[in-house]
Structures are given as C-alpha cells and as structure tokens.
C-alpha cells in the first residue's frame, strides 16, 4: 500500500497570505495525485488532479506541483472560504487509492 503523509497537520495563515501544503508518497506515483478540499459537514471536493491540473471551476489561486514522491498544494492569496481541511490522494494503481491524513488550514 502506498502511504501518503501530509504536513503540517495544522497550518495557521492570515487571509490574503500564501499557504503551502505538502504531501509525500511512500513510493513514486507517476504524478497520479489529486488534492481535495473538505469543509465542515460537507463532502470532499476535487481541486487538483494529475498533480497540477485544476478541476473544473477551481480558481487559479489554487495550484499543484511536484513529482516523484513529493507534492505541494499552494493557495496564493487565502480567501475566507479556503479555510478547510485538505487531503492528498494517490491513484497510481487504481483502484488501490490512498489518502493522506489531511492538513487543517485555519485562520491565523
């Protein structure tokens, strides 16, 4: 099983600032990486797939990067609606997909 490790567990950032979230895979995943946002009481929603492609309707302030085993989600200028939990997920060997444990992005 590919283990996904996210850091930090909690990130405190002020509105308007940049947030950088990290995700590490226990083995190479050929850029088969997605990021999801989950707000309290809601389902996860897809932000990024293929490590760097924004899903339909996702604002340009969200960007994904990385390769091999190290990946990053950057939110360039935080809006109030961006404070949520973010999960990375690998899908290199469908359907043996695995999620990270999440990063909680909170208002500083």
Positions in the binding site for other proteins (CB under 8 A): 1, 32, 34, 36, 43-46, 48-50, 53, 55-56, 87, 89, 91, 94-102
CA distance 15 to 88: 22
Q: Which C-beta is closer to other proteins: that of 14 or that of 60?
A: 60
**Separation of alpha carbons 41 and 57, rounded Å:** 21
Rounded-to-integer distance, Cα 46 and Cα 38, Å: 9
Pick 76 or 99: Cβ nearer other proteins: 99
Q: How far is the CB of 20 from other proteins (least distance, A)?
A: 19
Nearest to other proteins of 36, 62 (CB atom): 36
CA 19, chain centre distance (Å): 11
């Amino acid at each position: 099983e590919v283990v996904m490790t996210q850091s930090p567990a909690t990130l405190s950032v002020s509105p308007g600032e940049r947030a950088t979230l990290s995700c590490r895979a226990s083995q190479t995943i050929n850029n088969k990486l997605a990021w999801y946002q989950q707000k309290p009481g809601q389902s996860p929603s897809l932000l990024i797939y293929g490590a760097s492609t924004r899903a339909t309707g996702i604002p340009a302030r969200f960007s994904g990067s990385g390769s091999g085993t190290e990946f990053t989600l950057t939110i360039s200028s935080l809006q109030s609606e961006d404070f949520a939990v973010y999960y990375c997920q690998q899908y290199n060997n469908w359907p043996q997909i695995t999620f990270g444990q999440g990063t909680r992005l909170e208002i500083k």
